[in-house]
Amino acid sequence: MAGRKFLTISLLMLNLLSLLPLLTVSFSPDHPTDRRILVLLDDLALKSSHSIFFTSLQFRGFDLDFKLADDPSIAVKRYGQYLYDGLILFSPSTDRFGGSLDLEGVLDFVDSGHDLILAADVSASDLIRSVAAECGVDFDEDPSAMVIDHTGYSVSQIEGDHTLIAADDFVQSDVILGSTKIEAPVLFKGTGHSLNPGNSLALKVLSASSSAYAANPASKLSNPPSLTGTAVSLVSVVQARNNARIIISGSLDLFSNRLFRSAVQKVGSSYKYEKSGNEQFVTELSKWVFHERGHLKAVNLKHNKVEGTEEPSMYRINDDLEFSVEIFEWAGSSWVPYVADDVQVQFYMMSPYVLKTLSTNQKGLYHTSFKVPDAYGVFQFKVEYQRLGYTSLSLSKQIPVRPFRHNEYERFITTAFPYYGASFSMMAGFFIFSIVYLYNK
């Protein structure tokens, strides 16, 4: 009896121990795609009305944890460790989050490198608007304003106020929106926002057309609205310097099953698309925001003299050197070589002395060779790579550069021949003189 008990206990311990490695398979620098995502909803009916979006995420391997926004058991952090890798806020009208989450908590979550999808809507609460404002996106001051476009709306038999917009002004980026072009326009119904022109981290993914404006459809306009034209952004993304990615959308309906499945006909065009571009747009954007695409890492930064193979500790001016670096891109489950023709290296001391584009061997290895400048000091090899939609790469390696030693200069100079001639003729003259003077009578 005791033996059996012992056996069962040991089996149990063994099982528990074998689970330990699984606990470490989550977000880590070697495996950048997020795994566990917290979804906060206003209303549980969103779980079924947006089910196509959620099931597509679960199908790609994400662990979604649905909670009501004012659920008191919400916690993203416990004992200093984050419990989730990503956050989806589909709760535009929530004034306060439940549990231990608040505006500071959401911003800390993003600051620590985690991703966020935020959907606002008409009459969004101040909490949601301030989260967006901290991320660099300014929603319209009037909360009841919707984006109206009288020349870009979607033709419909049952909706007469032109607030359901068929937008097709996408950002040109294969990383963010995928390599297949989105043919059908994307249906959008909600508020618009604008980006501060000085913000270099935010980007408009879907902009409104030039005749769009944000106003309350029921009221007359006496002053021009603050958001008009192509400055109105419908969906924006922000990529922070620590590579956290944020999507901010002015419409919750953009993600809903109803708009995924609707047919679209933009006013003024006679072609009716059977299915709107929403599903493709949202799927590609979610792949980008959860780091399944566009996440780069650079390893093996090497330099050496042209003749040698190991890294010297110091270079001399006018030396010829070779430089190489390997760049990989995360493709959802493994690292694949990244191929591009615009990676550049700088040889930098206070300002770049040499800036060269690296040539690639199409397998992720980038190399080049150049001559060390004739300024001496402590230089850095710098690779700073920032492209639209990709994570930013910033690597540097320090190397000193010394001037010529005394014996590395030119040995014999033609200009000095008169001086050589003077010395030697002096020596010869002395020899002849010593003979002649001693034996002359």
Partner 1 sequence: MLIKDQTSEVDVHLGDADRIFRSIKALSQSDGRWRYSSNNPESSTYAAGIALETVAGLISLASSEIDHSLVATIKNDIMKLFDGVERYDDGACYFDEKFVDAHGHQDPLSASSSVVRGITAFATATEESLNLPGDKIMGLAKFFLGVEIPGSAKDLYHQIDALACLGNSRVSVPLILSLPATVLSVSRKDQLKVRVNTVLGSSAPPLSVKLMQIFSSGSKDASVIDQELKFDPDHAVHVLETLPKNIDVGKYIFSFEISLQDPEHKKRYITGGRTKVPIYITGLIEVNNAEIAVLDSDIGSIEMQKKLDLSGENDVALLANHLQKLRLSFQLTTPSGKAFKPHQAFLKLRHESGVEHIFVVGDSGKKFEIILDFLGLVEKFFYLSGKYDIQLTVGDFVMENSFLRSLGHVELDLPDAPEKAARPPPQLVDSYSRYGPKAEIIHIFRSPEKRPPRELSLAFLGFVLLPFIGFFAGLLYLRVNLKNLPRSTVPATFAFLFHLGIASVLLLYALFWFKLDLFTTLKALGILGIFLMFVGHRTLSHLASVSAKLKSA
Q: List binders of partner 1 among 18-57 (CB under 8 A).
A: 44-45, 47-51
Tokens representing 394 are 């910033």
Q: How far apart are CA 237 and CA 117, in angstroms?
A: 9
CB 106, CB 236: distance < 8 Å: no
Which two three-digit tokens encode residue 401? 């550069």
In the chain, the amino acid numbered 225 is P
Binding mask 231-250 for partner 1 (x = CB under 8 A): x-------------------
Q: Which is nearer to partner 1, 3 or 224 (CB)?
A: 224
Residue ranges of alpha helices (H) inside 219-340 are 257-261, 278-289
Q: Is the dihedral of CA 164, 165, 171, 173 positive or negative?
A: positive
The single residue among 56, 130, 228, 380 that binds partner 1, judged by CB under 8 A, is 228
d(CA 174, CA 392): 16
Could you give the CA distance from residue 280 to residue 278 in angstroms, rounded to a whole number?
Answer: 6
**306 touching partner 1, by CB under 8 A:** no
- 162 binds partner 1 per the rule CB under 8 A: yes
Q: Does 144 bind partner 1 (CB under 8 A)?
A: no
Instruction: Provide the 8-state DSSP code for 293.
Output: S
Instruction: Give least dist CB 291 to partner 1, A.
Output: 19
Name the nearest CA neighbour of 360 among 329, 317, 394, 398: 329
Cβ atoms of residues 327 and 364 within 8 Å: yes
404 near partner 1, judged by CB under 8 A: no
- Rg of the Cα trace of the chain? 33
Query: Does residue 353 interact with partner 1 by CB under 8 A?
Result: yes
**Any contact of residue 430 with partner 1 (CB under 8 A)?**
yes
Contacts of 317 (CB under 8 A, 6+ apart): 372, 373, 374, 375, 376, 401, 402, 403, 404
* Out of 14, 17, 20, 435, the residue judged to bind partner 1 by CB under 8 A: 435
Q: Residue 356 corresponds to which tokens in the numbers above?
A: 């060269």
Of 57 and 215, CB closest to partner 1: 215
Looking at 157, 179, 180, 313, which residue binds partner 1 (CB under 8 A)?
157
Site for partner 1 in 171-210 (CB under 8 A): 171-172, 195, 197-198, 200, 203, 210
16 vs 158 by CB, closer to partner 1: 158
Asked if 300 interacts with partner 1 (CB under 8 A), we say no
- For residues 277 and 283, what is the distance between their CA atoms, to the nearest angstrom? 10
440 belongs to the binding site for partner 1 (CB under 8 A): yes
Least distance (Å) between residue 24 CB and partner 1? 28
- The rounded distance, in Å, linking the Cα atoms of 251 and 375 is 57
Residue 114 or 204 having the CB closest to partner 1: 204
Integer CA distances (angstroms), 227 to 26, 254, 437, in order: 41, 20, 107
Interface with partner 1 in residues 59-88 (CB under 8 A) = none
Least distance (Å) from partner 1 to the CB of residue 439? 4
The DSSP call for residue 228 is B
Rank residues 308 and 429 by Cβ distance to partner 1 and give the closer one: 429
For position 297 contacting partner 1 by CB under 8 A, the verdict is no
359 binds partner 1 (CB under 8 A): no
106 vs 135, which CB is nearer to partner 1? 135
Alpha-carbon gap, residue 103 to 87, rounded angstroms = 13
**Does 123 contact partner 1 by CB under 8 A?**
no
Looking from the CA of 209 toward its CB, the CA atoms found within 13 Å total 17
Q: Which of 275, 304, 352, 397 binds partner 1 (CB under 8 A)?
A: 352
Binding window for partner 1 (CB under 8 A); candidates: 104-112, 240-248, 397-405, 410-418: 410-418
Q: Say whether residue 334 binds partner 1 (CB under 8 A).
A: no
Minimum CB distance to partner 1 smaller for 33 or for 207: 207
Please tell me whether residue 413 binds partner 1 under the rule CB under 8 A: yes
- Among 401, 397, 408, which Cα is nearest to 375's? 401
Distances (CA, A) of 24 to 19, 34, 119, 231: 9, 13, 31, 44
> 368 to 397, contacts with partner 1 by CB under 8 A?
371, 373-374, 386-388
Choose between 130 and 156: whose C-beta lies nearer to partner 1: 156
Report DSSP state, residue 12: H
Q: Of 65 and 134, which has the nearer Cβ to partner 1?
A: 65
Residue 215 lies near partner 1 (rule: CB under 8 A): yes
* 98 half-sphere exposure, CB direction, 13 A CA radius: 12
Residues 259-288 interacting with partner 1 (rule: CB under 8 A): 261
